[in-house]
Structure 1
Amino acid sequence: MMDRIKDLRYQIMLALYMPILLYAFSTFDLSEESYAVQSVDPVVTGQQTVVLGQPFQAKAFLSVGREQGQQLSASGDLQAVGDTAFQMQTNELLSEGEDEKTVSYDGTFRFQQVDGEVSRIPVSGQFRVRRPEIVATSENAQSLYRRCLNRLRIRVPGLENRTLRLEYGGQSTEGQTIALSPGGKQSTVDVYLADSTQSDDVYLGQKQFSVISPPRPDINVRNAGRDIQNGDNLPKRRASLNFSFKPDEEFRSRFPQDARYRASRATVFLRQGLAASEKLGTFDLSSDGRLVLTRQLRNAEPGDQITVRLEGVVRINHAGAAIPLSLNEASRTYGFIVS
């Protein structure tokens, strides 16, 4: 009796669970072509854009089941780093005249199937390489002062920790800081990557600067310890003038070695009464800018007019060179009344 009950119980359970078992086996693939790979679509993640000289790097993923090994290989300039990473040097990817380009790359994943066969799956991608932005900071924003000691700092975002070589005015310097004193209307600094593994330094680009003249100074005139202006009286018995230059304050604070001025001589005219002006001569100024006219005015009468025009006005720069200042005649000419 008990055996019949057990047999009946078995038949009932078989009737209940057999459809479920049949459905499970119908969806389970055990053919010889089955792979031990959970996903055969490789995934590559990496930089979309790199600057010239900055290595391109990417990660490649392929999910493999049952701890089966996978190997990553690369072709061309691409290098495989371990089994999950790609790297490519970009130093020579841009030719002269190219600012940017799209670079394609290819590699291969190798993995083992359950039957021992080795399968290969290609993996590919692309990235953009461009010339880097060159950033310069100076004492005078984006312009340089002519024949002055301009100090520049050159930076290349993306290559902050790399060694640069800077070429300018026939000179070459490694580093990020240079000092140059341009004489033309424009100045150019060529920037190279100096720590490249290549035999030649990698040309990154150039930075151009406009070159401008420094701001003109003001000229002050004093007589016997007092400031005098055009049209003021000049005592005949104390006919001495002291000329001094007041540099632009901002320019002087930033370029103290380039903000020194002097005038070497002055041409003097005397007009007596209604007569035409007579040239008394051109006279040298002392080293402190002093002009003494007591002898020249001994025959002058009160009310006569004296005109003084400065000549040889120069700026002394950091190298000690005397650079002529382009001043119009009116800005360096003064008129006084003899008293």
Structure 2
Amino acid sequence: MNPLLQAYDDAANRAATLRRPLLLSHTKPDGDAFGSLVAARELLRTRGADPLAVSFDPLPRTYSVFARFEPVHVLGRDVPLADLDRCDGVILLDTGAWNQLLPLEAWLRASSLPRIIVDHHVTRDIPADAIILDESAAATCLILYHWADHQGWTLSPDAAAAIFIGIATDTGWFTHSNTTPDALAAAARIAALGVAPNEMYQRLYQTDDAARLRLRAAALSTIEFAAQDRLAILSVDQATLARVGATLADTENLINDPLSVRSVVVSVLLAEQKSGPVRVSFRSKAPLSGLCDLDMDVAAAAAGFGGGGHRRAAGARVEGPLPEVKRLVVSRLTRLIEDADAARRT
């Protein structure tokens, strides 16, 4: 049997033994993370389970589209840590890395509960009893769609909508290099079930408040270029967030703006937190003849700072003051870009 189909069956068999599974995704959840939590909760309910979907962070206004669904509980606000002991298994969605689960890392490491992972990321270090891993998948929500289809599970309207949102956001509304025929076909089949793409687009991308637009303007005013304009750097500090009335969650997708510049191959966004390490996000363009002559793996770049992710989208948390972190990141990425350019020319 195809290994991926076998993984679907193994995970389904393991999930069938769970009555109260804990569903978790990574910190700083994006559309695919929230979509996976909602969709997995709906799918498992159709199998007779009573899953507990938990997020480490409240729903940011960037993803207010998810307010249409039953809320995902926030750890510490809606669900105390002690309540997790009533769960009989753990399902990790859209992550398989300890450094993306820091608020519960100690609890998870100490737990003997069976563990299932459903993920599409390259970076992973968490063992599990069953793993559905498809690095070629555009989104974890796309994996959930195929898992449900293979098992013959019916998609509820909420599951279908959540999966569509996860696929659409992780592909940049079907514009990123991970927009495969498979992702488009799945989105089309979900749309045929009654999910309206135009409505989802409006709810996702046309509901910002003024503070977020002010933040975008402020972030773009910090733009710097390096490596012969192939590297673009944006910075957002706490003073800027306070001045424009925005939050860290409002930085979502700002990193994509510099990629509109023809020469830029890699875009970096550094975001200062109130306490703790600086959040560093990385994006790169896919090679394209006549437009982009370098193939930069930003997951590898992020790994150099203890992070990870995908070839075209990755992140890390780096200790230190924002100016010093920026210096380190720019220095390393400039060197990587120059090395890649030299290798291309030889």
TM-score tier after normalising by the smaller chain length: under 0.3
Please identify which structure carries the higher helix content: 2
- The higher radius of gyration belongs to 1
Please identify which structure carries the higher strand content: 1
Q: With structure 2 as the length reference, what TM-score do the two structures score?
A: 0.21
Whose RCO is larger (CA < 8 A, sep 6+)? 2
